[in-house]
Amino acid sequence: MATQNYLLLGQKKRMIEQLRQRGISDENVLNAFDKMERHLFLESLLWPQAYEDTAIVISTDQTISKPSTVAFQSQLLEVRKGHKVLEIGTGSGFQAAILYAMGAKVYTVERQIALFKHTKPLLAQLAPSVVTYYGDGFKGYPAFAPYDRVIVTCGAPDIPQALLDQMVVGGIMVIPVGTESQIMKKIVKISDSEYEEEDFGDFVFVPMLKERVRK
Ligand code: SAH
């Protein structure tokens, strides 16, 4: 999906340099940021901001996460080609597309029907193997479980048991936990009932909310 817009191309290259300077060293993550064009996940009025390191509000309670946050979560997830990855919070679809570009088979869940309907065709075009699902992420996506990796891109009040259950032993979950602000947690499933947990700093995400909504 090579853009003809050289201004945006230059801005994308600079963004990738910034990600390197901020500690993103997984080449698979950096390559994915090179392949995927963030501006295509935004309306054209917002293209001038597409490669700044800021979250952008897309609609009432939905944002496209900052590039550095998307890169950080993607790096923590240790994605390898062929991994089955479950994402909770499809939103703009950008994070799902980055995981796709990293070689993962992505299943992504969104609770807002309007967003789901907006993003599904976009992903079909830009990241064709991504499976989109309109559902409540607290319940995961049992139809395709188990997953090698689980990534949550909204602020979770706690760690949903269904998501732990739907992960393989040896699997990794990256999830921001908290209400006002969140602590990024990496959870490794070491047996059917045992987990190792590590914290990776403070973040602010839109909240993970229960039940699907039709608006
Ligand atoms: N990954 C997205 C981030 C979007 S913001 C991106 O790259 O743009 C978080 C998203 O999580 C919002 O779209 C919100 O509607 C969604 N969300 C919140 N609670 C959810 C839940 N229980 N299940 C699924 N999606 C949820």
**For the segment 173-208, what is each residue's pLDDT rounded down to a tens digit?**
999 999 999 999 999 999 999 999 999 999 999 999
Closest atom of ligand 1 to 95 CA is 7
What is the reported pTM?
0.96
Q: What's residue 3's pLDDT?
A: 58
Q: What's residue 186's pLDDT?
A: 98
Q: How close is the Cα of 112 to the center of ligand 1, in Å?
A: 8
Q: How close is the Cα of 10 to the center of ligand 1, in Å?
A: 29
| Residues 148 and 84: beta-carbon distance below 8 Å | yes
Residues annotated catalytic, as ranges: 65
Domain boundaries, the chain: 2-203
Q: How close is the Cα of 89 to the center of ligand 1, in Å?
A: 3
Q: Atom 21 (ligand 1): residue with closest C-alpha? A: 137
pLDDT tens column, 52-91: 999 988 776 678 899 999 999 999 999 999 999 999 999 9
Percent of the chain at pLDDT > 90 equals: 87
**DSSP letters along 60-79, please?**
TTEEEPPHHHHHHHHHHTT-
More confident residue, 57 or 106: 106
d(C-alpha 78, C-alpha 75), whole Å: 6
CATH number of the 2-203 domain: 3.40.50.150
Mean pLDDT of 116-138: 97
